[in-house]
Structure 1
């Protein structure tokens, strides 16, 4: 017994020494431990995020007036969507990969598309189906039929009660507030109990009426958009663009305000509330949420939609793309054609990866039997375990050397990384910073043909790529010198533009960026005459006029000092070659 007792310390000491040696030999990134608190998504949040694409449906008296705001000038006798077919809506949604439909059951004007006795301004009093129709009932049945989730937008206010746009349900006349509260609570209860289960509840502009008990009882399986019970956030624009990095966490105090946006993201936040990116399809030179005659010229084209897809779902957000049934009740054929082509393009690019791997760790390597052409990668975290990755580098192996393809910060549900095409023998993903051991549900690489047209607003050859980003903490009131390596992108003789594009900001303060001391390093020296600011914009034009054997014989680096005004901003740094 005594001998065994004497040996035990030796065994423990050896184990201790082995552990120390292991720590010393491990790469620094692999030594990271689970020292951070990692907020996790709820089951409704997790399901919603995995949907990736959702179809909004805006249908209202304004559909008949051609306006965006219901001014109550339309006689209800004119509202007869005689061809209305919610199966067609579901078919359109599925054509572009949407997994849920979010229906505007009641907008600011107060018109209700379900059978309710809370108001006369509703489907009961229009000619369609002799006042017996119920769009929510039809849509609920269609969504079940087509395997789609269903969400509802129910505006907290109502013009008929003096609680108009932006009110959150607060009446102008305080004496009416209590009565209206009862009306809205009844409407919300009807929608959630008769047509559910709802998977998303939208309170546009927040909700000042206490409905916490109703949501707890009837919408516990739904994500909530805005309001004190919010579990997801508005991106802060209607352009279809999420900021990058796109963090899912923020402070609990910000969530409880009911109006937190992507600007409030904090990678160290204690609350989990991912971002939704909403945009109209009628946005090509305009901005319409409701159908109107002669507006097909406003339809986004497939190239534009793909650019938006990369910058929304491709940055880990949920893309909420609108649809606009016309006065017949159908989504117009010209619109349906665009959705179908959009879905086909997503599938063409990403349905068949060259290779996919998954697992846990800080380094993932793919090897190929022979060199293959690669120009895209898609990384997906297993977000059931939280958003863990904070920084990564993607590298390719060719000619006995590793070369950097791209780098990034946040990943989340999906990060799409396009990069200049390379023929590679291997690809390596290195997680250089993480809150805890990274867990990937998938890491895939692709050879996408014809993607160069991504982001076009016309038939031109211009292509914008995102080479960086900033968040609300990147710039302060102190000047900060920045250096951007443009060597991989300045690959031809010609002119280029680097643009600082704001995605969202703190509108309550004087916001903006200020610039000074811009310069460009080219041909081995500083060349101030080769760079100019475009007016007072946040865009700078660089001219490469001298030919070398290879564009990267000499680095091209853009130098600039930047500071922020009091209102902090979030944005992306975009780069393009100017073509005509």
Structure 2
């Protein structure tokens, strides 16, 4: 029982997974009756009359997201309390029985339309656990109910890039536990929104394993097929809101895709990682956290470790009781966007001359790693697992960031690499890394160099490289 290196190298993303990965950075919006009760988890017995944001403006949410450089937004359409932010035909526990918009409102529609107008992609979070619905715990009946609600969300609000499920599975109002029909949920999504990824409790995007912003030093997108069931197994699901689950970091799961792992399994799949955390300690808004917004340095580090560590970055932004993202959060998001844009605005290697130790053929020359296009790439002949790319920058530059990208349409190949800078006549190592994947941001102490060399020490079957970019994060600061 094992997967060969060549087999693992040939596992590739589906089109929907590739489009999702290219988004890189997007928002979670946690907003429901919890915002008005000052809770993280609602009980399901809250009156819809509590929901009354007085200044709600979905366009303000979208503008805040875009100021940070985000490409999408996922709305918590129904959390564990069962309150629906759209006027569902299958329950009265919705915005239609709230005073907001005189009971005529549809928050899902407002957010979807604000996203569409601004060119932001729209996604939905729907909790399978429903602490309000009487059918919950009567598994066949509730599964029909839940599929019907999914169909409403999937057919009435335009294109959806993501359906985000968590695995929480506590008791219902009748004291019973529900058995989720995940396959039925997936079928309706594939039927109605075939381009949407199904995340976390789903086959397309994998939860990183914690809510604390922890990232692995080597994040493989090619992992054991059994991982697709991890979060949907009820015994592993979150059952109590005790604060400890959000801090859980499974150090025993640090290695998910090395050669040692491949030797112990009989099937691997493309199942990339998403890192989700909140801009504040809580997921929903609490006024006591207005002064606890993550610092600019914290958020910058998170961005570079997640997007730059072969994962995506899902950052939660909780609107307040007004229905607005708080001024402190908005200010920090704008600062983050400005810092990221400045640090990665000027690619010092654009168009630079690059020579490779080996090249497969004319269509895969080394020059493609600096041509700025996503459709070309370099690779050596099949079976060549070690290679070097030497870049001539044409002049001495200062740099503290290098961005590397594999052509993941051909799989994830690079296992270990290093960067070297030429100082005088001597090559000196400035960075060592384990994987590249979709994107790897190499951060190192600022150096001055005219030539930079990428040495690929280990790869699977043969490596590919789509981009080799060089930045000075201080250049535009």
Matching residue within 26, 29, 32 for 1:54: 26
1:96 aligns with 2:68: yes
Match of 1:312 in 2: 306
How far the C-alpha of 1:438 sits from its partner, in A, is 2.4
How far the C-alpha of 1:258 sits from its partner, in A, is 4.6
1:213 aligns with 2:187: yes
Contact 1:230 1:258 in 2 (8 A): no
Q: Deviations over 1:410-467 (max 9, x none)?
A: 1112111111222212000111211133222211112222999xxxxxxxxxxxxxxx
SS in 2 for 1:71: coil
Matching residue within 125, 128, 144 for 1:182: 144
SS in 1 for 2:465: strand
Separation (CA, whole Å) in 1 of partners of 2:196 and 2:268? 21
Pairing of 1:58-137 with structure 2 (within 5 A)? 58-72=30-44, 74-137=46-109
Report the RMSD for the aligned CA atoms in angstroms: 2.3
Match of 1:322 in 2: 316
Matching residue within 110, 131, 141 for 2:113: 141
Match of 2:399 in 1: 374
1:265 aligns with 2:266: no
Unaligned ranges ≥5, structure 2: 169-178, 234-249, 353-368, 370-376, 380-386
How far the C-alpha of 1:85 sits from its partner, in A, is 1.4
Separation (CA, whole Å) in 1 of partners of 2:286 and 2:195? 35
Separation (CA, whole Å) in 1 of partners of 2:206 and 2:471? 31
Separation (CA, whole Å) in 1 of partners of 2:139 and 2:393? 67
How far the C-alpha of 1:182 sits from its partner, in A, is 1.6
Pairing of 1:3-22 with structure 2 (within 5 A)? none
Matching residue within 402, 408, 428 for 2:433: 408
Separation (CA, whole Å) in 1 of partners of 2:141 and 2:343? 54
Matching residue within 202, 207, 218 for 1:245: 218
How far the C-alpha of 1:36 sits from its partner, in A, is 5.0
Higher strand share: 1
Separation (CA, whole Å) in 1 of partners of 2:130 and 2:324? 26
Match of 1:44 in 2: 16
Q: Which moved more, 1:75-84 or 1:344-353?
A: 75-84
SS in 1 for 2:308: helix
Match of 1:444 in 2: 469
1:193 aligns with 2:155: yes
Separation (CA, whole Å) in 1 of partners of 2:210 and 2:200? 14
In the superposition, relative to structure 1, how do residues 36 and 62 fare at CA in structure 2: closer, same or farther (>3 Å)? Answer: closer
Aligned length: 405
Match of 2:326 in 1: 332
Contact 2:397 2:450 in 1 (8 A): yes
How far the C-alpha of 1:403 sits from its partner, in A, is 0.7
Unaligned ranges ≥5, structure 1: 1-32, 164-169, 453-580
Match of 1:492 in 2: none
Separation (CA, whole Å) in 2 of partners of 1:72 and 1:182? 20
Q: Deviations over 1:480-537 (max 9, x none)?
A: xxxxxxxxxxxxxxxxxxxxxxxxxxxxxxxxxxxxxxxxxxxxxxxxxxxxxxxxxx
Separation (CA, whole Å) in 1 of partners of 2:408 and 2:342? 26
Separation (CA, whole Å) in 1 of partners of 2:391 and 2:186? 49
SS in 1 for 2:132: helix
Separation (CA, whole Å) in 1 of partners of 2:118 and 2:332? 20
Separation (CA, whole Å) in 2 of partners of 1:371 and 1:120? 67
Q: TM-score when scaled to structure 1?
A: 0.66
Separation (CA, whole Å) in 1 of partners of 2:473 and 2:453? 19
